[in-house]
């Protein structure tokens, strides 16, 4: 009798565990670029300008809001320096929303990552405290932020409240790919958050963790053609 009770309790606990696992993975998030193609027009000082992208985010059968952390509308490029990284590779680590550019052969065009050294320490500290923004005329601007503003920028939160939402994203192309040669490429977005045991700092609100609808997983958008004139 005691053995049967233990078996029943074990089955109940197994079902409870399975239910919890399923409940933690109920959000399917899809990001689609709705522009049929992106054109980077020839211009002077191209390193100072961004590109606006129209996109749609979709959560099938959404019942409540879903939160994406480290999802900023001012989108940087990848920093891995790996030209053979496949889209599925992003599911193995966490990364904020980023854009990726590939050539016609599917090889990733590495972002330009410049390490700047300043003789003037005050100038160097200022640069570290600056963040990138985009003006209405798509000009990339650096703005000096305080510690809280830097935190909010770096861990930007995007809330999905509808099954389908339209949004505008701004590629910081002039910052990361200013010397991209004339030609045709392919562009897509990647996002991954796989740290369920390490919640972002800004999830703490008045001592409580706002983790009921945090998206844990990854997604890769569709690819669209990028034409650099």
pLDDT, tens digit, 9 for 90 and up, residues 50-63: 999 999 999 988 88
Number of folded domains that form the chain: 1
CA separation for the pair 30, 56 (Å, rounded)? 8
Task: Decide: 216 and 178 in contact? Cβ < 8 Å.
Answer: no
| Domain contains 15 | no
Residue 23 lies in a domain: no
Q: 147: part of which helix (H) or strand (E)? A: helix 147-154
Residue 216, domain member (yes or no): yes
Closest CA to 28 of 64, 63, 73, 60: 60
Q: Is 129 within the bounds of a domain?
A: yes
Q: Give the bridge partners for 190, in sequence order.
A: 98, 220
CB of 161 within 8 A of CB of 65?
yes
- Of 101, 105, 96, 95, the C-alpha closest to 157 is 96
Element (H, E) at 27: none
| Strand ranges inside 50-129, DSSP E | 51-58, 66-69, 74-75, 95-102
The residue among 85, 76, 55 whose CA lies nearest residue 156 is 76
Report how far residue 71's alpha carbon sits from residue 95's, in angstroms, rounded to the nearest whole number.
Answer: 9
Predicted model pTM: 0.78
The token pair at 18 is 């399975």
pLDDT of residue 92: 67
Q: Tokens at residue 181, please? A: 């040669």
Whole-number pLDDT of residue 209: 47
The SS3 assignment for 207 reads coil
List the beta bridge partners of residue 75: 171
Spatial distance between the Cα atoms of 97 and 73, rounded to a whole number of angstroms = 8
pLDDT digits (tens, 9 = 90+) for 32-50: 999 999 998 876 776 689 9
Q: What is the pLDDT of residue 101?
A: 93
In a domain, 72, yes or no: yes
Question: Can you give 95-127 as a three-state secondary structure string?
Answer: EEEEEEEECCCCCECCCCCCCCCCCCHHHHHHH
Q: Is residue 50 in a domain?
A: yes
pLDDT of residue 200: 47
> What are the helix and strand counts (H, E) for the chain?
4, 15
At 15 the pLDDT is 36
As a whole number of angstroms, the distance between CA 166 and CA 66 comes to: 15
pLDDT of res. 33: 98
Length of the chain: 229
> What residue numbers bound the domain in which 52 lies?
29-228
| 95: in domain | yes
Mark the ranges of the chain whose per-residue pLDDT is less than 50.
2-26, 197-198, 200-209, 211
- 13 lies in a domain? no
């Amino acid at each position: 009798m005691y053995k049967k009770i233990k078996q029943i309790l074990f089955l109940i606990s197994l079902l409870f565990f399975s239910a919890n696992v399923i409940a933690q993975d109920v959000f399917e998030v899809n990001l689609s670029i709705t522009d049929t193609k992106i054109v980077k027009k020839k211009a002077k000082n191209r390193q100072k300008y961004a590109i606006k992208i129209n996109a749609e985010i979709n959560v099938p059968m959404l019942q409540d809001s879903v939160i994406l952390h480290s999802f900023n509308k001012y989108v940087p490029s990848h920093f891995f320096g790996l030209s053979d990284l496949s889209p599925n590779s992003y599911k193995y680590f966490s990364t904020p929303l980023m854009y990726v550019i590939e050539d016609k052969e599917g090889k990733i065009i590495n972002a330009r990552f410049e390490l700047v050294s300043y003789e003037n320490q005050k100038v160097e500290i200022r640069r570290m405290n600056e963040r990138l923004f985009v003006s209405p005329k798509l000009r990339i601007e650096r703005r000096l932020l305080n510690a809280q503003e830097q935190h909010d920028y770096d861990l930007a939160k995007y809330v999905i409240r509808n099954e389908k939402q339209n949004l505008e994203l701004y590629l910081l192309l002039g910052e990361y790919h200013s010397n991209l040669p004339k030609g045709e490429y392919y562009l897509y977005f990647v996002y991954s958050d796989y740290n369920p045991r390490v919640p972002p700092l800004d999830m703490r609100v008045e001592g409580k963790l706002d983790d009921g609808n945090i998206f844990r997983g990854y997604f890769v958008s569709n690819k669209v053609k990028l034409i650099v004139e």
